Structure 1
């Protein structure tokens, strides 16, 4: 299996690659500001809200974009079908994972995440730039279906017949706090697996064996159907990425909790 991760040294040595900076903060500051302060030379800024998601609504706060809209966004950022893509952020790859997943879902076959993000890059003594590069329009074609997805009913069923992971912090899973969505709690039967525990203190992913052991503790092993959700399908993509590093396939409930609670008839569990 080819790893979905790449080291700073390997990225620095790679020619002919499109690099996307997908830094983002819930509540700010805007990722574009962080990008202008300094980014990997040649990287192009990719916005989570407008490039990697559709408009918020019944499908959640970060629903899948329409294929045509995603194709247009990626072409504008210089993404092409036969050119490798590397994505990075500065928050343990939690946002970069959404870019990795979206590109994979829409058919790109060579996407990797910079393990450790911008901190790993600068920690390796590699340079940053403030100038935005000139971008040639890419030749990316959206082909939806490259990664497995779940809708609400399928997520509910998976929580009973397989393993559905809730990637949010434990207090949100338990329903003790809910800073974003109107209802607190979790999908009945889901298992809490905070995304933050997929990486070490340096923001790099745990080794594949360590990740396999972590997910085995939740009942996930070869042959067990697995999926993940979070608040709006961003950090859950990080869970899917971590499982891929571990060699375990998983589906993403893109709408996640923000979609689940949009229908008041859906059950909510706490504790």
Structure 2
């Protein structure tokens, strides 16, 4: 995969950069803010901030995606923040509108695409993810900081952004779209579900207690792992990186068919990504970005919100 970097204040940064390029940026003292955006599933014993305190890329700060988020009526986590919340986070980390922001996570690629979706959707296009995250940075033998984390830099000024309303879908929109057959209706948006196939099919349980599995009608199963390649790290650990675009395209073809995939790439159809809680939907969103798909959106509530609302509707009926 080809990576690049532009230091122009108003330039749009590459969607993905490699550890070698980030290392060169830091070495040349170019302006960059590095954020650890690691997030773990609710049933994981690991805690993201504790891991950050132990090991991180030098100079990195920790961005908690559950904290920089809007309150939700169903209690859902890491929903898209308001413009005010986003500004407060950027100013806390010393980020200005021209700052190149590099986002990474401790899985390789998992939660950093969701963070990139947030930055890009709120107009901060000078943002990238680090392919392979901290594990690949470490595998390249670049310095890892294990000292107590330093305080954030001095606060900056950041203008209030506007969310691109075309990139988020609501429950009502998803219900209306689910009534359209994507095989026969050119109006239908193509809904791509990033959860594992067993949960999509209703055979495996959801990790959130009491939540039914299954899928939104007329949606397609496209596990986020299909866009990623697993690598072996030190001491037998594993991490993920994005596959080459040609391989991502094959996975998309397998999921929706070559004809529908072509419609997505050409912008003839909008693709809406969804998952369990809106986190790994970002992986599919970014993979489609790498293919140049121009019409992409994300269902922020994802299956958790959809299933909870469906259950509530049935109970009231």
TM over 0.5: yes
Match of 1:153 in 2: 172
Larger Rg: 2
Name which of 70, 83, 94 aligns with 2:99.
Answer: 83
- Note if contact 1:172-1:184 (Cα within 8 Å) is conserved in structure 2: yes
Name which of 18, 24, 36 aligns with 2:39.
Answer: 24
| 1:252, distance to aligned residue in structure 2 (A) | 0.5
Go from structure 1 to structure 2 and tell me whether the alpha carbon gap of 1:245 and 1:59 turns closer, same or farther (over 3 Å shift): farther
SS of 1:204 mapped into structure 2: strand
Q: For 1:106 and 1:173, how far apart are their aligned partners in 2?
A: 30
Structure of higher RCO (CA pairs closer than 8 Å, 6+ residues apart): 1
- Give ranges in structure 1 of 5+ residues lacking alignment: none
Q: For 1:264 and 1:157, how far apart are their aligned partners in 2?
A: 13
- Note if contact 1:85-1:112 (Cα within 8 Å) is conserved in structure 2: yes
Go from structure 1 to structure 2 and tell me whether the alpha carbon gap of 1:141 and 1:94 turns closer, same or farther (over 3 Å shift): farther
Q: For 1:265 and 1:34, how far apart are their aligned partners in 2?
A: 36
Go from structure 1 to structure 2 and tell me whether the alpha carbon gap of 1:2 and 1:69 turns closer, same or farther (over 3 Å shift): closer
SS of 1:263 mapped into structure 2: helix
TM normalised by structure 2 equals: 0.78
Match of 2:219 in 1: 190
Match of 1:129 in 2: 145
Matched, 1:199 2:228: yes
What's the Cα RMSD here?
2.2
- Note if contact 1:175-1:184 (Cα within 8 Å) is conserved in structure 2: yes
Go from structure 1 to structure 2 and tell me whether the alpha carbon gap of 1:266 and 1:211 turns closer, same or farther (over 3 Å shift): farther
| 1:13, distance to aligned residue in structure 2 (A) | 1.1
SS of 2:282 mapped into structure 1: helix
TM normalised by structure 1 equals: 0.91
Please list the CA deviations of residues 152-204 of structure 1 after superposition, one character each: whole Å capped at 9, or x if unmatched. Answer: 23233445313100111111111121221622211111101000111111211
| 1:220, distance to aligned residue in structure 2 (A) | 2.2
How many aligned positions are there?
267
Go from structure 1 to structure 2 and tell me whether the alpha carbon gap of 1:261 and 1:243 turns closer, same or farther (over 3 Å shift): same
Q: For 1:142 and 1:235, how far apart are their aligned partners in 2?
A: 27
Q: For 2:191 and 2:19, how far apart are their aligned partners in 1?
A: 33
Q: For 1:37 and 1:114, how far apart are their aligned partners in 2?
A: 19
| 1:216, distance to aligned residue in structure 2 (A) | 2.7
- Give ranges in structure 2 of 5+ residues lacking alignment: 1-11, 181-187, 232-239
SS of 1:19 mapped into structure 2: strand
Q: For 1:208 and 1:30, how far apart are their aligned partners in 2?
A: 32
